[in-house]
Structure 1
Amino acid sequence: MMKNVLLIYPHCLEERLHDEDASVPPIGLFYLGAVLEAEGRRVDILNTHPVRNHPEIIEKMVAERDPDVIGFCILHANRWPGLEMARLAKRIHPGVPVVFGGIGATFLWEHFLRHFHEIDYAVVGEGELAFPELLRCLERGDKQAVGRIPGVAFREGERIVFNGAGLPVEQLDRLPDPARYFDFQHLTSSRGCPGRCTFCGSPAFWGHKVRFHSPAYFVDQIERLYRRGQRFFYVSDDTFTLRPERVIEICKGILERGLDISWAAICRVKDIHEKLLYWMRKAGCVQISYGVESGSPAIREKLGKKIGQTEIRKAFRLTQAYGILARAYFIYGCPGENADTIQATLDLMDDIKPLSTIFYILDLFPGTALYADYVQRSGVTDDIWLERMEDIMYFETVKDLRPERILEYGRTLRTGFYRRLGGYIRSIELVDLPDLYPHHADFLSRLGMTLSHGDYAGIEEIADKAGLAEFLYRRALDYHADHRAFLGLGVLLQKRGAHREAAGVLEEGTGRFPESESLNVCMGISLMNLGRYGQALPLFLKFPESVQALEYAALCYGALGERSRESDARRRAAGLQSRIS
């Protein structure tokens, strides 16, 4: 029996600016693993992104396992590392079948099998039905039966055999819940997308018909992960809010079960309304990403993005009014891109005032309409992917978009956003609903933290980051006693040398959160800066298992002339540090 299954998610060929999505195994890998586990197989999922620059570690990880079959989850960006790891796997485990699956294998299955003999099989489309059936055929040694499995391709001599596309899973709730077997943060409650974006391969992979998990299944999954300690989730559906009432039912389920979580989602601007946003915020949604793509209606039309300026403005205004950070995805280097269309995107940003943005250069991948158009007008074949590259930039395929101009467009957009961000922040208007006040405080303090300690802290183009952060922390505390706001404001005041004011803010904070180590330590530091060592010392002694608190306690003892206690505190801090190390 093929008892031991190794599923590998290879790292991407190139390092990227925003890798939070690419570095995480796709949820489909966990669903496939759950199906195999439910059949009695042992599944090991290996993600090589954390060790991408250490081939010796990757080789050791593959060698340590004893698989009966190895499956690779192939996108396009990780195609070449996947091929290299397949060769490695064949060298270490020469008799073990290697199977490629995922969106990359779905659109390039013939290319892979024709050119790379380290690949034995390719699964085309969803794998939960085809892959287990392949394993059952291999266990029986029935190669002829493999040729009858929908969605499986393989070589037979020099001939490639393929019995047509695999069957989609129509009833998603019939799939075993992967949360029973694995830990993960990226969730999906549906499959499919009714959109026809020319740059996206998702509809061609999943289909235009959208299939849904029931709210109960989805909330059960969240609860299983929550009970094991997971508190933050990414909802990665292409069309999470396509059925708003279903999303509201999910949100009510999260609240009814007392799941104190935060989560981010990807939504369509067309679906957004106030009731939906209210329940999403109540249930812990802190960020929604919208695919805006461009401020130019003509470019959005060419990208197949059927949304209007009014819908975009409404979605961003309402999302941020309910205390949810609205992030905008933009694509540049598109058909017809020029200085005027870039200015149109900047103008749209001024209208919608996003608090986070991601800018991508338009690239081409198999399975998309833009790639099909490129093949038709250029005459290239899929053999172009024999080159060691992740993707093809659209501007490389046309004459009127020069690389240096595209790079300049990107700089213009990013710099324009950062220079405008302060104005966007100061213009935030929140709905006046008292039961959302704690959520408003959370929203404002989270945003403040990105400026004082997080993603925006090191970006020079954002002016007066400390002033913006202070504005947000104070506004948060006007709504509710927020732990993050007390701490952030206290630290900012300390950095400014306003130690007396910092002590006052932190005293109120420790009164609200008396067991908070961070607030007590920060308060103690303010008192030390005021020369009040005797008052600071008890705040540090509340945390005898904290290295940081003991080190500050030692400083207080030293300032108070208590040398033996100072030495004892330093010894205890050193002992704790050695245990941690």
Structure 2
Amino acid sequence: MNVLLISANTMTSTYAIYPLGLDYVAGALQPKHRVRILDRNLYADPETFREAVREAAPEVVGISIRNIDTTDICHSGSALDGCREVLRSVRSVSSAPVVLGGCGFTLFPAELMNRMEADFGIVGEGERFRAFLDVLEEGGDVSSLPGVVLKGQRVSLPAPWQEEACRAFDSANAHVSFYLQRGGILNLQSKRGCPYECIYCTYPEIEGRRFRFHDPLAVAREARALQDGGAKFLYFTDSVFNSHEGHSLAVAKALIRTGVSIPWGGFFAPVPSRENFYRNLADAGLTHVEFGTESLSDRMLMTYRKPFRTAGVYGAHQQALKAGVHVAHFFLLGGPGESGDTLEETLAGAERLERAVFFFFCGLRIYPGTAIYDVALREGQIAPDSSLLEPTFYQSPEISSAEIYRRLQERSGGRPSWVVGSGGEKTGEILSRLHGRGHSGPLWEYLIPRRR
């Protein structure tokens, strides 16, 4: 069958994020099916996009919904209008059945099926699209397949995908150049799943609660293919790259073995590591460590159910700096129990972390299936029948998001290394200028004041 896969995500204000999931879906479908990928970012207006859909002549269309909104109360915005525009454009030029998927869809399948008026949906990992197409092509009943969603039907998440992931990356695809021209960043996974129990996180809901490791050599060969395809920087999209140090080190060794020479980074937990852990990763090309620190108040870290405390944050920070890598910390402010005192602990603690960039996000986005959902329900901040599809945030009874934002702005003092929310226009403009000058990678290290 002719299958058209569409990335509907157009949120690129700070970083343009390559639609990795569609590569995995394409890998599962080929060679039996003919697959073409379209990225909405490539088309300046709906008409040119519609023409591209028409030319593709699809028999089935899959639309990936990655983002629901910005997930930050200080710079809140929904992505749903853009997703609806994509679907309307497809409907206007094609009668092919439309299937929704992606991590954003997996969080709100029933509501999105109602709002988007698609024919089918697939929750969980997109590789299940293969079984869907096989049954559809034979004229069978797809409604009983694991993960398949129909409008008005009860939705249940299938078990995590157990077959080996197979990515189909083709540097000749038109959308690849879009990302190479905007920082040169391409992404990959070394594992799926997350066993942590953070109260706000959706990773366990989407990928499962147990690790499924990709073979380190296969990961490294994929990285080499991305490098050969023009990537200037690699970003590992694992929920937490260092959550299994043994596997992380095996991947690093394989990167060296396969001749990967471009820099890379990922999201890390600020936990104590074995001696020379970061040094060994740096020897394999690691240059950017993004710590999911969330708070520098032990009270809040306990509330968030983080697997570390503040002492571990300071230790991990020093270990990473000692290895010569760039360090950023991400903070999530305003959770249950957040107060003026806990906020001050975080802000004062950040002052102690030298040579780093800080990304502060206000408010915890409430998603179904998370512990923060249950807390908000108990406290009456939401009702059992509340729609969470529009941006909905937990609000600490002890300090308002507006006050958190005010104190953040006051404390940052205009320092570019203190980024509030997604960074807004200021950070986006800085990074865009650097990318325009030929710089590649995340580049947030340029926000750190130089030592005199």
State TM-score, norm by structure 1: 0.64
1:412 maps to 410
For 1:49 and 1:368, the matched residues in 2 are separated by 31
1:100 maps to 100
Deviates more, 1:344-353 or 1:205-214: 344-353
2:387 maps to 384
1:265 maps to 266
Equivalent residue in structure 2 for 1:169, among 151, 161, 171? 161
- How well do the aligned residues superpose, as a CA RMSD in angstroms? 2.9
Q: Deviations over 1:98-155 (max 9, x none)?
A: 1111222222212223x23621111111121x2111112221222xx21220110114
User: Where does 1:154-553 land on structure 2 (aligned, <5 Å)?
Assistant: 154-155=150-151, 159-160=152-153, 162=155, 164-171=156-163, 174-179=164-169, 185-270=186-271, 272-362=273-363, 363-376=365-378, 377-381=380-384, 384-385=387-388, 389=390, 391-395=391-395, 400-415=398-413, 468=450, 471=452
Equivalent residue in structure 1 for 2:39, among 47, 60, 66? 47
The answer on whether the counterparts of 2:46 and 2:89 sit within 8 Å (CA) in structure 1 is no
Distance 1:372 1:38, change over 3 A: farther
Q: For residue 185 of structure 1, give the secondary structure of its aligned residue in structure 2.
A: strand
Distance 1:230 1:287, change over 3 A: same
For 1:54 and 1:241, the matched residues in 2 are separated by 41
TM-aligned CA deviation for residue 24 of structure 1: 1.6
Greater per-residue helix proportion: 1
TM-aligned CA deviation for residue 89 of structure 1: 1.5
2:74 maps to none
TM-aligned CA deviation for residue 385 of structure 1: 4.6
For 2:19 and 2:366, the matched residues in 1 are separated by 20
Greater C-alpha radius of gyration: 1
Distance 1:10 1:64, change over 3 A: farther
Distance 1:382 1:224, change over 3 A: farther
State TM-score, norm by structure 2: 0.81
TM-aligned CA deviation for residue 455 of structure 1: 5.7
Q: Deviations over 1:491-542 (max 9, x none)?
A: xxxxxxxxxxxxxxxxxxxxxxxxxxxxxxxxxxxxxxxxxxxxxxxxxxxx
Deviates more, 1:319-328 or 1:412-421: 412-421
Distance 1:188 1:419, change over 3 A: closer
1:122 maps to 121
For 2:197 and 2:381, the matched residues in 1 are separated by 23
Q: Can you give the 5+ residue segments of structure 2 that lack an aligned partner in the other structure?
A: 70-78, 177-184, 420-437
Amino acid at match of 1:176: C
For 1:259 and 1:456, the matched residues in 2 are separated by 22
For 1:81 and 1:67, the matched residues in 2 are separated by 21
2:142 maps to 146
For 1:101 and 1:242, the matched residues in 2 are separated by 27
- Larger relative contact order (Cα-Cα within 8 Å, sequence gap ≥ 6): 2
Amino acid at match of 2:405: L
2:4 maps to 5
Amino acid at match of 1:132: R
Deviates more, 1:330-339 or 1:210-219: 330-339
TM-aligned CA deviation for residue 345 of structure 1: 1.0
For 2:373 and 2:41, the matched residues in 1 are separated by 27
Distance 1:25 1:366, change over 3 A: farther
The answer on whether the counterparts of 1:6 and 1:70 sit within 8 Å (CA) in structure 2 is yes
TM-aligned CA deviation for residue 203 of structure 1: 1.2
TM-aligned CA deviation for residue 57 of structure 1: 4.1
For 2:384 and 2:50, the matched residues in 1 are separated by 33
Q: For residue 194 of structure 1, give the secondary structure of its aligned residue in structure 2.
A: coil
Deviates more, 1:26-35 or 1:322-331: 26-35
TM-aligned CA deviation for residue 220 of structure 1: 1.0
For 1:456 and 1:242, the matched residues in 2 are separated by 24
Distance 1:25 1:9, change over 3 A: farther
Equivalent residue in structure 1 for 2:60, among 58, 66, 69? 69
Identity %: 25
For 2:346 and 2:397, the matched residues in 1 are separated by 23
Q: Deviations over 1:173-232 (max 9, x none)?
A: x23233367657111110011111111111121111011001111011111222223231
| Pairs aligned (count) | 408
